[in-house]
Structure 1
Amino acid sequence: MATFPPYPTHPPYADGPAGGGARHAHWWQRRWVRYGALSTLLALSGLVILALVREQTGTEGFLVGLGLAVLPVPLLVAAFRWLDRVAPGPWRNLVFAFAWGACAAALIAIVANSFATRWIATSTADPASADTLGATVIAPVVEESAKAAAVLLVFLFRRRDFTGIVDGVVIAGITATGFAFTENILYLGTAFGTDQLTGDSGIASVTAATFFVRVIMSPFAHPLFTVLTGIGFGVAALSAERQHVRRVLVPLSGLLLAMGMHALWNGSAAFGGFGFFAVYAAFMVPAFGLLTWLVIWTRQRELRTVREELPPYVLAGWLTPGEPYALGSMRARRTARDYARHRFGKPARRTVAEYEAYATSLAFLRHRGRRGRADADFVVRERELLAELWWRREIARPALDHAARMTAPPVPVVAPPWPAYGHPANPAYNPYRS
């Protein structure tokens, strides 16, 4: 078992929250430069993909596709945000992931898939098979690699926000949701254009069929594929720094599984008239159910980790006795935030939410350290998190203590096996009976 340094008994920083002095950095290393360059790249990708999709669908088809494709997005984003409630990541990571999927990854996929399909059509003896080969071989490799790039970037450059499997699932799922959003605009807009040429309308139209397959039956398809890559990166995040081979092979294995599942899904149409429904029922739905159970189980395990890892900080005086229980219960957390909002207003609610997030990160940090998987900056990071808790304690502690009292399970009261003092054990005895 790893040994830990003694806990400080006073706040490690006397002049404010953790952070320390700013280090000198070159102009290209400054945060606003990096954010500006990334935002510019995503904006340019968005403009190009917008022009390409509009060129293929037409303005009217683009608007119809946009209106229909946006319908599953709030539901999918809300589902991934729910999974991320235990240790919520910054909104900027989710915005980046969605924008990367909808703009950069979609642009890479359209350009690469089109180029590869044309190359196959001109270099093979059977040009008619180019579309099938491109959909089952080229598209899965290109699209899953493009989406995995977002997960890799967050894993490398936002490492403190990427601590486990749930973080990998959320980033991968949001990226794939953005990618599917743009792809659905293209498919639905193209289908609408086909209906305009043929004069079809209603439930028998190509638009209705495309909407049913892509939005009603399988809105989770792209997130399901890419989540496998996210799980791989999540396992890598839980690995020790010295486990270099594992930290490379596990994400790569997740990516290969995502490509394989994607290829099976795209190739289901080649299995006959009922191939799509056979793959959907026998493979996609069970895989979706299994992965859903896995991430929900992981979420519950994270809450258990919070309850188990924080008590040592109670002994050191950093937390009150009721806080580990309250921080390990989503109901108690919500009660604490509501209590702070009713007593002190919305800023207090936000303070309690920040306290909960920092305390969760502290529990995860100690859990990795206790298992011998802590990074080299364990002590520095622990002090930073403790300092963040210290500067929010006056508002957060009363709220969490209140939540612990309100949500704690009742303690059963059991009658003693011996009779009450002065009364015999005979239940028929009544001292007031004459």
Structure 2
Amino acid sequence: MATFPPYPTHHPGDPTGGTTLRHAHWWQRKWVRYGALITLLTLSGLVILALVRQQTGTQGFLVGLGLAVLPVPLLIAAFRWLDRVEPGPWRNLLFAFAWGACAAALIAIIANSFATKWIATATADPSGADTLGATVIAPIVEESAKAAAVLLVFLFRRRDFTGIVDGVVIAGVTATGFAFTENILYLGTAFGTDQLTGDSGIASVTAATFFVRVVMSPFAHPLFTVLTGIGFGISALSAERQRVRRILVPLSGLLLAMGMHATWNGSSTFGQFGFFAVYAMFMLPAFALLTWLVIWTRQRELRTVREELPAYAVAGWLTPTEPYVLGSMRARRVAREYARRHLGGRPAGRAVSQYEAYATSLAFLRRRGRLGRANADFVVRERELLHELWRRREMARPALDHAARATAPPVPVTSPPWPVYGVYGYPAQPVHPAQQGHPTHHPIQPAHPVQPAHPTVPYPAYNPYRT
């Protein structure tokens, strides 16, 4: 059997020849960065815990914690569902939630308190300091603090940040963490107010706060910050040469998030029914529109998989039915379940899941290249992804073949209309029509097995997608 060539360690244009710099600065080492990040988040968590407990008391803190945690699993599950087409690593989600709950919340509490006190002492009318702080200062501070998490993932986990859905997920999880800490503070304070008025247990103020913040608007903070995430997602889809667009679009998303946040915070100043008017006429339509947008984007990603992967099937790297299976969430689920039950338990299911994720990344990479948006490491990244697929093919292909039979594709898988490139940019070998699926032959059972084209070609000196 032909063996897969070792993937290159450098780009042909890399003047270093792929050699690793031995004398890198100490702060560039991975363990130093991870250690600094974990230390920062831990210290922020301890400080925010002390501040919230100081304001709410121990009993109020425990009550607020128990009530604030209720919407968190539902929101995390919703964002994880959106991310199922090309699931990002859990460490990114853990970082986003921890940043929102600890670092962003700490920045917001300190900055908002300082700004409100400064406004109260610097203006002739101290009574308006709270309103001005809530409608102007808080949206700027809080959305900027949450956007920092999205920016960090965008800069340092660029391969995990490939489009709008990734931006929505990271932003939404960050905002979920922020809302979790904020809800502890508000609910704990409300509980303390009820205690001072002589009510026992969870009384009117706590119940009203819970209804408004947890029942009516658990999506408020995620809704605001998702606009920033969409901006970063559009930037991720832009070509490197479009530098102005890559900067202005995230900033525009951040400004929209601040504006929506300010409108929501200022709804109580719009009259007796201002809050309900803003909620019904602004928040709910915005939530519905953004929900439709991210679901449509998710379906568009699946369509991209079905449209881009046939090129690799023609070249022999995938079977003819795999583009269909990988472009259907139902077929993917059937493949994973079959692998777990019949091919080796959880390790087999995990291998199939990884195969699906790498194939999806490969489809997105090819689409960016076809549209002229590929980065300089296109060839290297394509080779790495094909290498990962090739390693898992023996475990994944039986499961994917079973899923293809079980889900019955409605139309045969055909080659794409654009030029087909084989391995790493070389044109694919001509494939016999019977290998691609004859119009009268069902694609689930090809007449002849497709073998990889040029499985041992050397690393090419050009990239057909380079712009």
Q: Is the shorter-chain TM-score for this pair beyond 0.5, marking a shared fold?
A: yes
Of 4, 13, 19, 2:6 maps to: 13
> Matches of residues 22-421 of structure 1 in structure 2 within 5 Å?
24=22, 25-200=24-199, 205-342=204-341, 343-409=343-409
More displaced 10-residue stretch of structure 1: 338-347 or 236-245? 338-347
Distance 1:258 1:14 in 2: 42
| Deviation for aligned residue 1:203 | 7.7
| Aligned partner letter, 1:53 | V
Which secondary structure does the structure 1 equivalent of 2:146 belong to? helix
| Aligned partner letter, 2:392 | R
Distance 2:250 2:158 in 1: 15
| Aligned partner letter, 1:54 | R
| Aligned partner letter, 1:391 | R
Deviations 1:71-112 (A, max 9, x none): 000000000000000000000000000000000000000000
Distance 2:31 2:90 in 1: 17
Q: Which of structures 1 and 2 has the larger relative contact order (alpha carbons within 8 angstroms, sep 6+)?
A: 1
Gap runs ≥5 in structure 1: 1-8, 413-434
Say if 1:11 and 1:386, in contact at 8 Å, map to a contact too: no
| Aligned partner letter, 2:157 | R
Deviations 1:382-407 (A, max 9, x none): 00000010111110111111111111
Question: Structure 1 residues 393, 48: closer, same or farther in 2, change over 3 A?
Answer: same
Which secondary structure does the structure 1 equivalent of 2:186 belong to? helix
Which secondary structure does the structure 2 equivalent of 1:280 belong to? helix
Deviations 1:100-159 (A, max 9, x none): 000000000000000000000000010000000000000000000000000000000000
Say if 1:269 and 1:276, in contact at 8 Å, map to a contact too: yes
Distance 1:99 1:250 in 2: 26
Distance 1:164 1:14 in 2: 26
Which secondary structure does the structure 1 equivalent of 2:272 belong to? coil
Distance 1:22 1:319 in 2: 33
| Deviation for aligned residue 1:408 | 1.8
Q: Which of the two has higher C-alpha Rg? A: 1
Distance 1:404 1:36 in 2: 45
| Deviation for aligned residue 1:212 | 0.3
| Deviation for aligned residue 1:31 | 1.7
| Deviation for aligned residue 1:26 | 3.9
If each structure's helix is expressed as a fraction of its own residues, which one has the higher value? 1
Distance 1:288 1:22 in 2: 47
Question: Structure 1 residues 273, 81: closer, same or farther in 2, change over 3 A?
Answer: same
Distance 1:305 1:68 in 2: 41
| Deviation for aligned residue 1:204 | 5.6
| Aligned partner letter, 2:398 | P
Deviations 1:346-395 (A, max 9, x none): 10110110111000000000000000001110000000000010111110
- Aligned residue for 1:3? none
Say if 2:96 and 2:149, in contact at 8 Å, map to a contact too: yes
Percent identity reads 85
Deviations 1:25-67 (A, max 9, x none): 4432222221111001000000000000000000000000000
Say if 1:12 and 1:383, in contact at 8 Å, map to a contact too: no
Say if 1:86 and 1:302, in contact at 8 Å, map to a contact too: yes
| RMSD value, Cα | 1.8
TM-score of the aligned structures, taking structure 1 as reference length: 0.90
Distance 2:337 2:227 in 1: 36
| Aligned partner letter, 2:281 | A
Distance 2:197 2:271 in 1: 25
More displaced 10-residue stretch of structure 1: 138-147 or 26-35? 26-35
Distance 2:49 2:203 in 1: 28
Question: Structure 1 residues 78, 287: closer, same or farther in 2, change over 3 A?
Answer: same
Distance 1:201 1:241 in 2: 60
| Deviation for aligned residue 1:23 | 5.7
Say if 1:165 and 1:233, in contact at 8 Å, map to a contact too: yes
Which secondary structure does the structure 2 equivalent of 1:392 belong to? helix
Say if 1:163 and 1:238, in contact at 8 Å, map to a contact too: yes
Distance 1:365 1:12 in 2: 20
Which secondary structure does the structure 2 equivalent of 1:379 belong to? helix
Question: Structure 1 residues 345, 270: closer, same or farther in 2, change over 3 A?
Answer: same
| Deviation for aligned residue 1:285 | 0.2
